[in-house]
A and B are shown apart, each in its own frame.
Chain A
Amino acid sequence: MNKHPHIRIDRYALVRNTVFVWLTAVVVAGFLVNIPRINILEHTARNLYFHVPMWFTMMAAVGVSGYHSLRLLQTGSLIRDIRAMQAARVGAWFGVLGLLTGIIWSKFTWYVGTDVWWNFDPRQTMASLQLLIYGAYFVLRSALDDPDRRARIAAVYNLFAATTTPFLLYVIPRQLQSLHPGAEGNPAFSDITEPVMRLIFYPAIIGFIGLFWVLYTQRVRTAWIKYRVIRDPEL
């Protein structure tokens, strides 16, 4: 009996447990490891371990989602549609968290001493636009009823959405004046980050991508159950 033609539960459990131990270590290290205090940032520099991996994770999720949309168009297998959808959904949540944590961080650094929470900084504006593009993907899906037709139309749109992502998140903001690191006239991560912070930052990226994988697999599992039940109304 093969309960999951698409998911290996034992491997999932192993990765899940590893991710939880790994990320716990990242959080503890993120708080405890001493970092140099620099102007304006002070302790908020520790946000590097948590805010920035949100975007790396969303980027990875966009890649996974786009890959499965491509495979759907090649094979027509509906599990690809489920995977593309769930990767996009979990990835979009990481994007929302990245945007919100960015707003909080910027309030007390860029905008400290003002009433400003949001000033249409290009980086933040483009990231919001990106999330709206994915919002349209979910709306588009909900408007279509026939599973096969929905899968194909959504896959084509999703490939468009995935293609715009690197431009909106990385290419365009770097050409504009922004307070965000890595923009015009503003040094990027590589020039300013203390070496000890990299030892936590890189594992944090791996850990959060792992967390994405755990949540994504859990959702695929759920969606697969739902698909089996609805496909066969006798149950």
Chain B
Amino acid sequence: MEQEVQSIQDSLRAKESISTPFDSIWTGADVPTVDPSALEQVMLSNDKLYVVLAVVLLIWFGFIFFVYRTDRRLSQVERTLEDRIYERDDEV
């Protein structure tokens, strides 16, 4: 684990003099001296791929939630419909 922290810090330092718009740190900014947190170590690895995964999963779970809500609404409407049919048939 310590080796990994060291290698992340090394790579950050190596980029200090590179100025491309997609650098991990802004040109001229101080290199972070705090050790990356456990969460950062995970999320920044693999070219930050896990950040995209988190975004996609959030959207996906939002979609699932929406489908469940729609199903519940449909069940309510169906119950209402059945009740009205029964009431009407009783009157006849």
- Using CB atoms and an 8 Å cutoff, list the residues of chain A in contact with chain B: 1, 3-4, 9, 13, 16, 20, 23-24, 27-28, 31-32, 43, 214-215, 218, 221-222, 225, 228-229, 234-235
Chain A facing B: main interface SS? helix
Q: Decide: B74 and A221 in contact? CB cutoff 8 A.
A: yes
Q: Decide: B64 and A20 in contact? CB cutoff 8 A.
A: yes
Q: Decide: B85 and A31 in contact? CB cutoff 8 A.
A: no
Question: Which residue of A is nearest B64, CB measured?
Answer: A20
Question: Which residue of A is nearest B78, CB measured?
Answer: A3
Q: Decide: A1 and B57 in contact? CB cutoff 8 A.
A: no
Residues of the B chain whose Cβ atoms lie less than 8 Å from the Cβ of A1: 82
Q: Within the assembled complex, what's the spacing in Å between the Cα atoms of A213 and B75?
A: 18
**With A28-B53, A43-B49, A235-B85 as contacts: A218 and B67 at CB distance below 8 Å:** yes
Residues of the B chain whose Cβ atoms lie less than 8 Å from the Cβ of A23: 60
B50 close to A (CB within 8 Å): yes
**With A43-B49, A222-B74, A225-B78 as contacts: A24 and B84 at CB distance below 8 Å:** no
9 A–B contacts from the bound complex (CB under 8 Å) = A13-B71, A23-B60, A24-B60, A31-B52, A218-B70, A222-B74, A225-B78, A228-B81, A234-B88
- Using CB atoms and an 8 Å cutoff, list the residues of chain B in contact with chain A: 47, 49-50, 52-53, 56-57, 60, 64, 67, 70-71, 74-75, 77-78, 81-82, 84-85, 88
Q: Within the assembled complex, what's the spacing in Å between the Cα atoms of A228 and B80?
A: 13
Residues of the B chain whose Cβ atoms lie less than 8 Å from the Cβ of A222: 74
Residues of the B chain whose Cβ atoms lie less than 8 Å from the Cβ of A43: 47, 49
3 closest A-B pairs (Cβ-Cβ)? A31-B53, A20-B64, A221-B74
Q: Within the assembled complex, what's the spacing in Å between the Cα atoms of A79 and B50?
A: 45
Q: Decide: A218 and B74 in contact? CB cutoff 8 A.
A: yes
